[in-house]
Amino acid sequence: FAEIPEPGAMLDLCTGNGAIALLAAAYAEQHKRGYSITAVDAAAIRPDVIAGHFPEQAGLIKQVQFLGNSRVEDLDLEPAVYDLVTSQYGIEYCDWPAAAGQVARLLKPGGRLVMVNHTATSDIMKFMEQEHQQYAMLEKAGLFSSIGGFLAGELDYATMRRTLEELFRNLQMVVQQGGTPLFRSVHQMLAGILSRDQAALDQGRAHLQAYHDQTRHGFDRLADMLRVNRAIQSEPEWYRIFELAGLELKDSGELVYRGEHHAGAWFHFAKPAEAA
């Protein structure tokens, strides 16, 4: 952020909840720097929801232009505008050649791309692989189909309850032996569901739907991460696509969390300056 000229502009791709964009806004505020910040994501972005979860960030959120429902591959932003493009565990989910072309198009001559990405052997991916297997076990045991079927009116309460009671008993043994964070949270959720009769569940249908959707989304998100992991395993030097798009790799390295956890890799690219 310190190297963004004034006035300058930065663009955060696949911003998620805007973490990097808000770090940039905090830096600008702390150091009295003047640069614009744009953050885009393929999903809808609700700055008001982010502010609700992180009220201390409300002032910084107003300094960021959020563009939701915007895929990197389809961005129709002005070319050669940005001094810095960033991405944190995001751009590897895009179509690589298209994303690289967009970054090269959007950067000013001399502008930089700095990104943090998953690697096939990172501890994050190892954990996600294990958690995905746990989600798959829950799916096979009928967690999603029973709750989803009940909510859709395709399954009666008694049938759903029998499935969830069996799953609860099986998880009870796992949790007593320690279990995993996912299994413990599902076990706790099932205890809440099974403590209610049908009338109470019908009254709390919105909460049950929200839990089902959140859990299902977590499963789907892990599947997407593992898809990217397999792609990176097949092409471990996938990041070279940015060189093919005309950028120069200036530096890179392993990202290590708290001195011991391999959390991915970071890359620093630059767009060549225009010839004098």
Residue-level pLDDT at 130: 83
Residue-level pLDDT at 127: 80
Which residues, other chains included, contact 132 with Cβ-Cβ below 8 Å and sequence gap of 6+? Answer: 219, 222, 223, 225, 226
Residue-level pLDDT at 69: 96
Residue-level pLDDT at 276: 42
Residue-level pLDDT at 176: 87
Residue-level pLDDT at 135: 87
Q: Which of 256, 269, 16, 4 is nearest to 119 (CA)?
A: 256
Do 116 and 21 form a contact (C-beta atoms < 8 A)? no
Residue-level pLDDT at 164: 94
In 3-state terms, what secondary structure has residue 45? coil
Instruction: Tell me the pTM.
Output: 0.81
Give the chain's length: 276
Number of helices (H), then strands (E), belonging to the chain: the values are: 11, 7
Do 228 and 91 form a contact (C-beta atoms < 8 A)? no
Q: Which residues of the chain have pLDDT under 70?
A: 275-276
Q: Which of 135, 164, 141 is nearest to 151 (CA)?
A: 164
Q: Which of 187, 167, 189, 164 is nearest to 176 (CA)?
A: 187
Q: Give dist(CA 168, CA 191) in Å, integer.
A: 7
Sheet holding 248-257, edge to edge: 64-67, 35-40, 8-13, 82-88, 107-117, 261-270, 248-257
Strands 8-13 and 107-117 turn out to be unpaired
